[in-house]
Every structure is written in structure tokens, then in C-alpha cells.
Amino acid sequence: MTAQNQTPVTAESLQSEITRHLKLSLGKDPKHASLYDWRMSLSLALRDQVVEPWFASTRQTYEGKHKRVYYLSMEFLIGRLIEDVTINLDVEGVAVEAMSALGQDYYTVVANEPDAALGNGGLGRLAACFMDSLATLAIPAYGYGIRYEHGLFEQHFENGQQTETAEGWLAQRHVWEFERPEVAYNIHFGGYVSDEGGKAHWHPAETVLASAYDTPVVGWKGKWANTLRLWAAKPVKLFDLDSFNRGDYVGANAPERLARTISRVLYPDDTTQDGKELRLKQEYFFTSASIKDLLRRFLSEGNKIEDLPNHVAIQLNDTHPAIAGPELVRLLIDKHDLSEEAAIDTARQCLAYTNHTLLPEALESWPEDLFARILPRHHRIIQMIQERHLQQTGSHVRIIEHGNVKMGELAFVMAHHVNGVSALHSELVKETVFSDLHAAYPDRILNQTNGITPRRWLYSCNPALRGLINDTIGTAWHTDLEQLQDLNAHLDDASFQQAFRAAKATNKDRMAKWLKDRNGITLDTSAMFDIQIKRIHEYKRQHMNILETIALWNEIRDNPTANWTPRVKIFGGKAAPGYALAKSIIHLINDVAATINNDPVTKDLLQVVYPENYNVSMAEILIPASDLSEQISTAGKEASGTGNMKLSLNGSPTIGTLDGANVEIREHVGAENFFLFGLTAQEADAKRGEHGYSRRAIESSPVLSRVLGQIAAGVFSAGDRYRYSDILHNLYEHDYFLLSCDFDEYFAKQREVDAVYQDVPRWTRMAAANTAGMGWFSSDRTIRGYAKDIWGTASVI
Ligand code: RUG
């Protein structure tokens, strides 16, 4: 049977499958089934529907000897899977009906699924969107990553301050995956290298087992399905019996402890470097297992090792899997007897690297002694790669320098292509971090602007807008998002505008209800929902947003009867547990919220909310409800952004800087539909060269000076004058992220937003023009770009 001729699912057939699973897989009598039992049974019944397309796709790939893409990523932020599968299989209506016939509310069951939070933010979510597009486009692909026992921490607020607890998605059964105990590899660490008979031999000191768990990822209409293969670390021997017999019960468990630690926790930061030995082990663990796995598959098809690049495209999502280069070279030399030159050449033809940041602290490097201790054979191989690179190019850029192994340089040298993730970012990659390597390899860097899957980020999360678009332009946009531009013909049509506003109102009501049920907070849904959702970081400038909120509060209090535009400022996002200043920013936002929300003078005009524990599922509720998207990072610092795309696609105009993909969003939706402010990347760089720029900017801004004065006086901290001295000191003395310099323009632009929002037809037109203009940002377009420019693959059906 092929995927295409599978028997269609009906409400009746699904209902009987759910009941069957409830009884036979869960062992539950429907009378006593809990919400959890119903979710498990529904998921299993849906999973059954994915298996046939999955088998058919795998068979077709083998039979056609198609080239496969291997997407190596430390993070896959997939979120919930029930809705993904029902949408892609086009059985949402059927599932709703089947559950209702069983006396269950489908949406309550969906909401019971924990998010698979195997990522920090944009980078991990991008990997999840790419998996969706690869399956939709029928490009044979595997995602390879780590099956973390604990995903991203759960965020709580205690007295306005962030605290963290471990996340536990695997405390419940994860029904979507298939355990593959037969697919397992020994992964080695430490030891030493000897030379015997002209060959290097690695004698490792430690070994753990990488054991595979597969989750099928089905594309649109179930026509194709790929595999997300996540590796769990297990001990090679369960138990040290010798230690046990000696009475050393703790020592007896050591093998299991070491192994389990490797896949236990996701590192809670993707933008600051934390040279932890465990992180290096995690990186090598999943990369080595993936490379061994893809080589096994390749050889099992009877191929010759020299042919590898014709069958295998390996994409490195950031430098985290950059050890793939030396690992592949090692296996080609040590196990397959290729010469050094042939091994490097073959590996390079397979490998490509995506850079996601210019922030120096996020560019990975490892102390050489640590690296050589954990991976002695790879250390030697990197030295060899470096020698050849220096000789062949005459470049002076070293991979190992000042006692550090630099993973960006390694990934660059070992890749046939290196890409940035937005047009601006890719240019800056050429001009800054990799300028010298770019000179040595001028054809290597290219751009692939990020994208988002429209299945999740419009079709699924915004049924109200989906319905309106279907009614207005038909359904061709489901597979070709650029068809959204047909909406342009309707932007001034009064009935379309009214329906567009109705859809937004539905989404705002849904969000208000969600927040009321969750936190007991009541929102004024007639106010503008002004949303900033992303990781908390100085460069993303949530503190500029909250300072602007205080400034607005001041203005309203000074003149309460003026014609103000009511606003709800909504924040969402986590700070890395070790990032003190980001945590101070969270505390300040919560303190300001407590003050402003209790002010009787402004209570109908300004409200600040910050729901804790922002994640993918929360984004799916907040994004469709947004009126204004805050994309206010310091120009040159946000590589791309993808939240900016989701918000704009859902009819929320941006207030933003010329940073990352904002630049291209503005081009696509039209400059008149984007609220631009702030320094450009070049101006920002020049500004940093001016001595004392921040203090001068603050002193020349009465609005900002007043706000900072209030914070310093303890207005938001119950009189505590020192609570925010870290933020204040930073702004006056360094302000590397130029908040002080952009503040006045930002404040003025916000007042322009206020005025336009009151012009209802104009605002509606802007919002709808955003939806109409965003088709290009589908991750299908991005994946087509990678397939054509980098991987040399295409759709196979
Ligand atoms: O910060 C970037 C975002 O700008 C980008 O949109 C996203 C996906 O490309 O990746 C984010 N990122 C960068 N996540 N981790 C890093 C550090 O390497």
C-alpha cells in the first residue's frame, strides 16, 4: 500500500480505533478512562495513520536510491504533536467528531499533551519547522538530535522573580515515538591514541551506548513522512558487579550514572557560551551516533564509500554538531582506509553549516586541553585539517588558536557551503566573524532566509483567519503560501475588513479566556494587544519596551483625559538561569506590572501582563491575538528572528528595527505597513565608537531620564533604590545594545502606532497587508532553497 491510497479515515473508524486502543493498549474501560487515557488512545489511533505513509516513503527512498538529507541539531522544539498530525492528515474535523461521540472534547484532550520542549527558542523551533517542510515537500530526510529526559526548564515567578524547575515530559509515556533497541552505537570518550603500523589507534577510556528512538514526521495530506531520530544515552554495561560485590553500591551504579547524564538535560541557553565538558560530550555523543548511523544505511545499500556525497547531505544546525567533520574524517581514514586528503574531501562534499549568530559569546570554542582529553583522536585530526587548510589557502585563520578549538572555524573549513539565516545576517557573516575565511573561500557563504511552517503558524493556530482566507481566495495557499498575495485585492473592501477584524477579535477573546482560566487575569480585549515574545536577552531589548511602558504611564498620568489608545503590553519568555541581567529585566517587568495594573488613574488605558512559562503552545494562543509585534533588537544582533514572521503572518504589524529578517519582512509587506525606528547596523557600530554616548543620550532625553530616575528612586520596588542598579549602571556606563540611543525614536514611533490604531480602516488594512505579504516566509521556500543551493536534492514525488 502507498501513502496515497490509504483508506480514508472517518469519524466512525477513528472512534472505533480510539476505543480499541483504550481497551487494548491502555487496558482501560471507557467508563473509568481519564483525560490522559483518552489522549493516549487518540494519539495512538492517529499514530497508526502515519505508519503507512512512513513505510511507503522509506520504501520509495530505498527503491529510488534517493539522496537523503541529514539535519543534525542539538534542538528540536516540536511542541505538541496531536495537532500537527491531525492538521497534516487533514483529520481535525474527524477527530473532533470522533472524540465528541465518545463524550470527550477534542481541544481539551489536545491541551493535555505536554510540549516536547527539546529546544531553547528560535534555533530549535526552526529545526521543527524544517522537519515539517521536508516532509511536506517529500524530500527524504532524517532529523538527528538528542532525546533529552528533561527539556527546557519550567519558568515560575516568585515575587516577580524567575525561578526554575526541571521539565519532565518523559514522566508520561511519549506515544509518538518508536523505540529501536536494535539501532545502537558505542560512543567513546577519553583515553589515548597510539600509532601502530602507520595507523592511528584510539584507545578510549569511556563508552556509552547511543540508542535510537524514532518519531515519524508526516507532511501535508499525509503524502510523505520522514523520521526524527533522537538518541538516548544508555550504559554499555548496566551495572558494575565487581564494585557491588566489594560492597561499593554507589560505585556499582557509576556506569549508568555517566550514561544517563549525557542525555539527561537540555542546556538552557543558546546564546551564551558555557564551556562545560558535559556539553562537549553531548555534542559528540549525538553527532557520532548520527554519522555512524547514516554510514551504516549508506553501506547497507551496497554503495562505495567514495560515492558518499552523491547520497548524503549533512546540514549542521549551528556549530553544536561541528564535530561531524572530524568524526566523518576519522571514520573514513581509520575504518574505511581513505587517505587524509580523500577523507577530508569526501567529508566536505557532504557537509554544510548554518550560522545563527554573530554574538561572540555564542560562538563555541573549547579549551584545547579539555578537547584533547575528551576527544584525543579528533584533536589530531583537527590539527591535520588545519595544516591542510593553511597550506592550501595561504590563509592565516587557524582552527586552534590561543589554546582554544574554535568550532565556527572548524565548521566553516569542513563545509562546502556556509549559510546565514537572513540577507542582512549573511552579509554581516561575510564582513565580520568570517571575513578572513570568506576571503580564503569566496564562494562558500550564501544566504537562506529563515521561514516558518504555515501549517502550524497559521492554518492550525488561527482557524478564524484560516476560514476567512479560504472564503476570500480559496485554498491554494495551503501548499503555496505566496498565494496569500491575492488578499491584496481585498484590502480596502469593507466587508473583508470587517471579517478580518472579527477574526482578530475571536483570537483576542480566546486568549483572554485562556489567561483568565490560567491566571485569573482579566484583559480588555478592545485594547491594542502589544506583544513581545522571545527569550529574554539584552540585545532583544525587553528592557526598552518596559521603559517605554513606564514613559507612557507617566504621560497618561500627566494628562489622563487625552485621547489615549488603550494598550495591553504582553511579555513572554525565559531567561537563561545563569544570566543575571536578563533575570533583573524579568523582575523589573513584573514590578512595573504590579504598579501600573493597580493604578486607578491608568487602569483602563494601560495594562502589563507576563504569563509565566512561555512555550510553543502559548505562542499558538498569543500570536493570532496580537495587534502589534515588538521586534526591537539592536540592529546587527538578531540573526533573523522567526517570531517576527509568525506575528506578521497572523496580521500583526511590526514595530521594529532594521535587524535580521525584519528588513525582508518590511520589503515584503511594504514599508507603509511597518513601523520602523532606530539605528541601522552600521550606525550602531559607529555609535559605539563615540565616547560616553549612553550617558549623553540619557541626559538629552527628558522622557528617558525621568523613567530611569523613577526606577532609581524605588517607585517600582517599594522604595528599594538598589534593586535595579545593575540595569541602571549598565545603561549609563556601557549600554552596548544602545537602548539609550534608540529610546526617543522608539517612544515617538509608539505614539504614531497609537494614532494609526485609532484609524480603524487604515489599521485593518495594514494588518491584512501583513498577512498578504508574508507568503515568501514559508519554511517550504527556505527548504527549497537549501535543497537547490546546498544539498542537491529535490522532492521525490
Ligand atoms: O538568535 C537566533 C535567531 O535570530 C534566529 O532566528 C534563530 C534561527 O535561525 O536562531 C537564533 N539562535 C542563535 N539560536 N541560537 C543561536 C546561537 O547560536
Model confidence pLDDT, tens digit, residues 136-155? 999 999 999 999 999 999 99
- CA 388 → CA 399, 436, 591, distances in Å? 11, 16, 57
* Inter-axis angle of helices 423-431 and 662-669, nearest 10: 140
What nine digits make up the cell of 194?
597510539
287: CA distance to ligand 1 center in Å?
20
**Burial degree of 11 (CB within 10 A; 0-12, 13-18, 19+):** middle
Q: What are the beta bridge partners of residue 69?
A: 141, 313
525 as an active site residue: the answer is no
Give the Å distance between the CA of 124 and the centre of ligand 1: 8
Question: In the structure, what pLDDT confidence band is assigned to residue 249 with cuts at 50, 70 and 90?
Answer: confident
The three cell numbers of residue 351 are 557537509
| CA 460 to centroid of ligand 1, rounded, Å | 24
Among 227, 319, 642, 657, the one annotated catalytic: 642
Give the span between the Cα atoms of 123 and 129, in whole angstroms: 10
CA distance linking residue 208 with residue 255, whole number of Å? 8
The pLDDT-based confidence of 5 (bands split at 50, 70, 90) is low
Q: Which of 342, 424, 486, 500 is nearest to 666 (CA)?
A: 424
**Percent of the chain residues past pLDDT 90, beyond the cut:** 94
- Nearest alpha carbon, ligand 1 atom 8: 123
Phi and psi angles of residue 531, each rounded to the nearest 5 degrees, phi first: -120, 130
Domains located in the chain, CATH noted: 1-64+87-114 (no CATH), 66-80+119-179+218-231+269-448 (3.40.50.2000), 455-679+743-781 (3.40.50.2000)
Return the residue whose CA atom lies nearest to atom 10 of ligand 1: 123
pLDDT in tens, 319-348: 999 999 999 999 999 999 999 999 999 999
**Looking at ligand 1, which atom is closest to the CA of residue 121?**
14
Q: Is the CB of 318 under 6 A from ligand 1?
A: yes
Q: Does 350 score more than 80 pLDDT? A: yes
Upper half-sphere CA count for residue 364 (Cβ side, 13 Å): 24
Choosing from 223, 356, 455, 687, the catalytic residue is: 356
Indicate left, alpha or beta for 57 from its phi (over 0: left) and psi (-120 to 50: alpha): alpha
* Catalytic annotation present for 765: no
The pairing of strands 154-158 and 161-165 is antiparallel
Q: Is the CB of 659 under 6 A from ligand 1?
A: no
Whether pLDDT at 400 is above 80:
yes
Specify the residue with its C-alpha closest to ligand 1, atom 15.
Answer: 270
Name the catalytic one among 540, 637, 668, 765: 540
Atom of ligand 1 lying closest to residue 122 CA: 7
> CB–CB of 427/662 below 8 Å?
no
- Nearest Cα neighbor of 417 from 394, 442, 387 is 442
Query: Which atom from ligand 1 is nearest to the alpha carbon of 126?
Result: 8
Ligand 1 centroid to residue 423 C-alpha, Å: 14
The pick from 424, 426, 540, 640 for probing ligand 1's pocket by mutation, whose C-beta has the most ligand atoms within 8 angstroms, reads 640
- Catalytic annotation present for 603: no
- 179 alpha carbon – ligand 1 mean position (Å): 30
The Cβ of residue 85 has, within 10 Å, a number of other Cβ atoms equal to 23
Expressed in percent and rounded to 5, the helix, strand and coil fractions of the chain are 55, 15, 30
The strand order across the sheet containing 445-447 reads: 178-189, 206-218, 225-235, 141-146, 68-72, 312-317, 351-354, 417-420, 445-447
The residues, any chain, with a CB within 8 Å of residue 575's CB and separated by 6 or more, are 162, 535, 536, 537, 582, 583, 585, 586
Listed in sequence order, the DSSP H helices in 394-450 are 407-414, 423-431, 435-440
Active site annotation includes 65? no
Kindly state the cell numbers that stand for 90.
487533514
Cβ of 278 less than 6 Å from ligand 1: no
420 lines ligand 1 (CB under 6 A): no
CA 354 to ligand 1: nearest atom: 9
User: What is the average pLDDT across 754-779?
Assistant: 98
Query: Residue 268 pLDDT > 90, yes or no?
Result: no
Distance CA 448, CA 450 (A): 6
User: Nearest C-alpha to atom 14 of ligand 1 is from which residue?
Assistant: 123
Neighbours of 54 (CB within 10 A): 24
**Does 357 contact ligand 1 (Cβ within 6 A)?**
yes
Would you place residue 258 in the very low, low, confident or very high pLDDT band (cuts 50, 70, 90)? confident
Torsion sign across C-alpha atoms 327, 332, 336, 340: negative
Is there a contact between 455 and 87 (Cβ–Cβ < 8 Å)? yes
d(CA 527, CA 604): 9
In short, whether 123's Cβ falls inside 6 Å of ligand 1 is yes
Q: Give the distance (Å) from ligand 1 centre to CA of residue 707.
A: 31
What's the CA gap between 61 and 51, in Å, rounded? 15
| Cα 617 versus chain centre, distance | 13
783 lines ligand 1 (CB under 6 A): no
pLDDT tens-digit map of 53-110 = 999 999 999 999 999 999 999 999 999 999 999 999 999 999 999 999 999 999 999 9
Contact 640, 426 (CB under 8 A): no
> Does the CB atom of residue 639 touch ligand 1 within 6 A?
yes
H helix or E strand, kind and range, residue 297: helix 277-300
122 CA → ligand 1 middle, Å? 5
Angle at 155 between CA 152 and CA 157, to 5 degrees: 170
Would you say the CB of residue 530 lies under 6 angstroms from ligand 1? no
Cα(354) to ligand 1 centroid in Å equals 10
User: Which residue in the list 80, 438, 534, 569 is annotated as catalytic?
Assistant: 534
Instruction: Using the predicted structure, report yes or no on whether residue 3 has a pLDDT greater than 80.
Output: no
Best of 316, 319, 357 to mutate for ligand 1, by most ligand atoms within 8 A of CB? 357
Residue range 429-465, pLDDT digits in tens: 999 999 999 999 999 999 999 999 999 999 999 999 9
- Which is the closest atom of ligand 1 to the Cα of 271? 17
Q: Residue 188 half-sphere exposure, CB side, CA atoms within 13 Å?
A: 17
Q: Ligand 1 centre and the CA of 76: distance in Å?
A: 13
| Average pLDDT of span 636-652 | 98
When mean pLDDT is compared across 141-150, 170-179, 272-281, the lowest value belongs to: 272-281
Determine the average pLDDT of the residues in 190-197.
96
Instruction: Say how many Å lie between the CA of residue 140 and the centre of ligand 1.
Output: 25
- Residue 742 Cβ inside 6 Å of ligand 1? The answer reads no
For the segment 358-385, the average pLDDT, to the nearest whole number, is 95
Residue 355 Cα to ligand 1 middle (Å): 8
Whether residue 82 has its Cβ less than 6 Å from ligand 1: no
Contact 270 CB / ligand 1 (< 6 Å)? yes
Look at residues 291, 357, 301, 352 and name the one whose alpha carbon lies nearest to residue 121: 357
Is 257 part of the annotated catalytic residue set?
A: no
Average pLDDT over residues 165-169: 96
Mutate to test the pocket of ligand 1, among 76, 123, 283 (most ligand atoms within 8 A of CB): 123
Q: Which residue lies with its CA nearest to atom 13 of ligand 1?
A: 356
Q: Has 406 been annotated as catalytic?
A: no
Active-site choice (535, 543, 567, 587): 535
Ligand 1: which of 118, 126, 270, 356 to mutate, most ligand atoms within 8 Å of CB? 356
Q: What is the mean pLDDT of the chain?
A: 96
Cβ of 640 closer than 6 Å to ligand 1, yes or no, is: yes
CB 421 near ligand 1, within 6 Å: yes
